[in-house]
């Protein structure tokens, strides 16, 4: 009877690719809103079986590309709420990285330690698509799926990259077990996979950041019309909604229903026009600040620094004195907030004009001093898309943040998986930092996440809401914050060395086989 390996090797290229597409589609269920992480692990294992047993690198590349299409066309179909063309282009681009992964997995399969080397290939390719092109798109990384899995404990130890490597390693061990010969080897593979999963328990040793007091933080979800490119509604609609909800919050505080906050946070795009230069928006923000009577952390769009340029900005706005400390969003969405190669692409594709003014990234960590009566609190903020970027997240802690918030605007994507995916990523970040994270969005999903990634509460979409929470001020940094970046780079380097060593040995072995075959042929001649 043919073995599993023989059957896989006999697959025609079209069937191998089709199975890879199905595996990618199955992998999409591992991400929010479903979060079926066991299916994801099996899908990743399936990709390895299809690539390692391919008859050539081109079949492995096709399998990887098919897996990528199956994954991205489902998991990021929410982008079609803006432009279907953008969703298709992104899926094709990211599938290209998975095609490279397919070739690397095929190559790693020639190593005796291929489960370990193949997991390193996942780490390498995730590093690549998280940084290139145009700053990368680190949205569907394996590490984000661990938040409700046994491997979640690895997040504060080795961060999202390390947790993703562990997911890949479990999958590779399962794939190796499926084609390993002999009961003893199969049992060893399963035991190793279980051991890696149980390694997540080590995270229990990492406590939440040391408390340094508390602060009362108000939050405002003003609501937005939502849906598609015009999700924020007519100009200043979103601003007026947030002013109105802030006034309702002030009334609840004045009546004693809620405690007085030390400061209040608005989401990204709490104002859709520059509150520093647009007269109506400026007066609206002032009315909200005067109503609540405490500093207001405003998320909005600001003009400049150049002509037809803008920035997504967080401003600390004080009663009586006005705007003070600011932070400008560093990680911008390509073709959403800025257009790469705009001078070349806009004449060819006029649709990109809908992006509007070109956004310009800020510099430095998102840490803002908020002066309260008699003390200063250092607020760490991440603006929406930034939660997907390791360095930007870690910089808030390294920059001295004592309390962490995420300001977001998901109004264009309400009712899609994007909202749940971003919230899941933020949960992984809370666990990675071992800190409470308050999420404030225009129309959902706002909520409070605990240091272990658990959810204290969420607010529904399409509903104006506000409240006050008491948050601990925390200090200290987890091993993930301090070292995961260096560990990731070391893993990438070791993977490249391992692939190079495997290639050198494979070529040497192939050369010897050819030489021996040639010698034998010569001896047989009469």
CB atoms within 10 A of CB 490: 11
Backbone angles phi, psi at 453, to 5 degrees: 90, -5
Q: Is 525 exposed, middle or buried (0-12, 13-18, 19+ CB in 10 A)?
A: exposed
Tell how far CA 13 is from the center of its chain.
Answer: 33
Identify the CA nearest to 467 among candidates 437, 444, 446, 442: 446
d(CA 434, CA 431): 5
Return the exposure string of 104-142: e unless at least 16 CB atoms fall within 10 Å of the residue's CB, then b: bbbbbbbbeebbbbbbbbbbbbbbebbeeeebbbbbbbb
Q: Are 384 and 243 in contact (CB under 8 A)?
A: no
Q: For residue 374, what are its two tokens? A: 């008699």
Q: Indicate which residue of 94, 245, 384, 461 is catalytic.
A: 384
d(CA 280, CA 297): 18
Strand partners, 296: 264, 317
CB atoms within 10 A of CB 507: 10
The string of DSSP codes covering 272-308 is: SS-TTT-HHHHHHHHHHHHHH-S-EEEEEEEE-SSTT
Q: Are 376 and 387 in contact (CB under 8 A)?
A: no
257 classed as catalytic: no
Q: Indicate which residue of 121, 245, 329, 461 is catalytic.
A: 329
Q: Indicate which residue of 94, 126, 245, 268 is catalytic.
A: 268
268 classed as catalytic: yes
Q: For residue 328, what are its two tokens? A: 């400008």
Strand, coil or helix: 488: helix
Catalytic residue numbers?
268, 329, 384
């Amino acid at each position: 009877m043919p073995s599993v390996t023989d059957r896989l090797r006999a697959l025609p290229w079209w069937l191998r690719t089709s199975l890879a597409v199905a595996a990618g589609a199955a992998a999409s269920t591992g991400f929010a809103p479903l979060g079926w992480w066991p299916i994801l692990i099996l899908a990743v294992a399936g990709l390895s079986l299809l690539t390692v047993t391919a008859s050539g690198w081109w079949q492995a590349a096709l399998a990887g590309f098919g897996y990528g299409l199956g994954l991205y066309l489902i998991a990021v179909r929410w982008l079609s709420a803006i432009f279907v063309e953008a969703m298709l282009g992104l899926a094709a681009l990211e599938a290209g990285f998975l095609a490279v992964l397919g070739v690397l997995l095929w190559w790693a399969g020639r190593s005796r330690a291929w489960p370990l080397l193949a997991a390193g290939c996942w780490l390498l390719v995730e590093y690549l698509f998280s940084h290139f092109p145009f700053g990368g798109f680190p949205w569907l990384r394996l590490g984000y799926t661990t938040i409700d899995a046994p491997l979640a404990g690895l997040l504060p130890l080795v961060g999202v990259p390390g947790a993703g490597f562990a997911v890949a390693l479990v999958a590779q061990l399962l794939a190796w077990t499926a084609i390993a010969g002999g009961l003893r080897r199969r049992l060893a593979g399963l035991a190793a996979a279980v051991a890696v999963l149980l390694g997540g328990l080590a995270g229990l040793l990492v406590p939440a950041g040391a408390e340094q007091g508390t602060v009362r933080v108000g939050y405002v979800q003003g609501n937005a019309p939502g849906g598609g490119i015009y999700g924020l509604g007519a100009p200043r609609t979103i601003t007026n909604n947030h002013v109105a909800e802030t006034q309702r919050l002030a009334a609840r505080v004045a009546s004693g229903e809620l405690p007085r906050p030390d400061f209040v946070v608005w989401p990204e795009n709490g104002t859709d026009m520059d509150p520093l230069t647009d007269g109506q928006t400026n007066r609206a923000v002032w009315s909200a600040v005067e109503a609540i009577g405490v500093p207001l952390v405003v998320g909005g769009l600001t003009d400049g620094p150049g002509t037809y340029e803008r920035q997504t900005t967080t401003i600390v706005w004080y009663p009586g004195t006005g705007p003070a400390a600011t932070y400008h969003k560093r990680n911008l969405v390509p073709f959403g907030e800025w257009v790469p190669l705009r001078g070349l692409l806009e004449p060819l594709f006029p649709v990109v004009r809908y992006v509007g003014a070109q956004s310009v990234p800020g510099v430095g960590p998102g840490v803002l001093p908020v002066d309260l009566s008699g003390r200063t609190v250092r607020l760490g903020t991440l603006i929406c898309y930034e939660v997907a970027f390791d360095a930007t997240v870690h910089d808030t802690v390294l920059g001295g943040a004592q309390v962490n918030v995420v300001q977001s605007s998901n109004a264009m994507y309400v009712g899609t998986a994007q909202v749940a995916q971003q919230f899941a990523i933020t949960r992984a970040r809370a666990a990675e930092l071992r800190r409470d994270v308050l999420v404030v969005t225009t129309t959902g999903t706002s909520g409070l996440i605990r240091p272990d990634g658990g959810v204290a509460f969420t607010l529904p979409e399409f509903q104006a809401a506000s409240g006050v929470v008491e948050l601990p001020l925390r200090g200290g940094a987890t091993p993930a914050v301090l070292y995961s970046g260096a560990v990731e780079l070391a893993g990438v380097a070791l993977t490249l060395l391992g692939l190079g060593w495997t290639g050198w040995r494979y070529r040497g072995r192939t050369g010897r086989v050819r030489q021996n075959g040639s010698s034998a042929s010569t001896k047989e001649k009469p």
